[in-house]
Amino acid sequence: MGALTTNIAVSNAALSLIGEPRIEIIDASTIAGRILDETYEAVVQSAIVSYRFRFALVTSSLVRLDEAPGGAFSAAYQEPSGALAVHGVFVNGAAITFDRFGSEIHCNASVSDAVTAIISYRAPEAAWSPMFTQGIVERLAGDLSISIQEQAGKARDFWSLAAQTLAAAADQEAQNRTARVMDTKQFIRARRR
């Protein structure tokens, strides 16, 4: 499998897994194209928000809205365009409590505060990790198996494989962070008893 850096390349990799012919464009001109047109983005976006994949994370400055939200929060900010999930909101670099209401983020911040958010967005295929790409290919192969070939057993196998591959991709992502320091004092106290 070559570099899968476009939606067509990823789709064709899924089609080749189930033995179907390649497509040139994702549209309604073929059965596979119609199915991919209807499902591709939903599959990708749901996989991206299932874990904080670093290739799909960005820190974004928030724009304060004029009207205060009322209730428990003093300020409302416009959710960044293209945000699939908001993982954290920060005022002057410190994490704060927030909530999402529609396309707004409500929090407690003053007008002079610099408010930022860490969000997941729809990253382009060229930015995906290889393991994530493989998981998407397998997930799409399952969707195509049930839709085109009407083979539920094959579809379940591909979906199961995709879930395992995406979990492995998430594990790989977790290994690229600073390790958390484990509190060993409890072990020392237990030994002294």
- CA distances, 36 to each of 55, 82, 187 (Å): 23, 21, 53
Q: Which of 80, 95, 121 is the last residue of a domain?
A: 121
Q: Are residues 47 and 129 in the same domain?
A: yes
Q: What is the pLDDT of residues 51-92, one digit of tens each?
A: 889 999 999 999 999 998 878 899 999 999 999 999 999 999
Give residue 162's pLDDT.
96
Q: State which H helix or E strand residue 88 sits in.
A: strand 83-91
| Domain range for 37 | 7-52+124-174
pLDDT at 2 over 60: no
Q: Are residues 114 and 71 in the same domain?
A: yes
- The answer to whether residue 193 is domain-embedded is no
Q: Name the domain count of the chain.
A: 2
Query: Is residue 183 very low, low, confident or very high in pLDDT (cuts 50, 70, 90)?
Result: confident
pTM above 0.75, yes or no: yes
- The answer to whether residue 192 is domain-embedded is no
How many CB atoms sit inside 10 A of residue 66's CB?
5
Cα separation, 163 vs 161, whole angstroms: 5
Q: Are residues 146 and 64 in the same domain?
A: no
pLDDT at 179 over 70: no
Q: Are residues 77 and 160 in the same domain?
A: no
- The answer to whether residue 164 is domain-embedded is yes
Cα separation, 77 vs 156, whole angstroms: 42
Q: Which of 95, 121, 147 is the last residue of a domain?
A: 121
Residue 90: CATH number of its domain? 2.60.40
Token digits of residue 93 = 């670099």
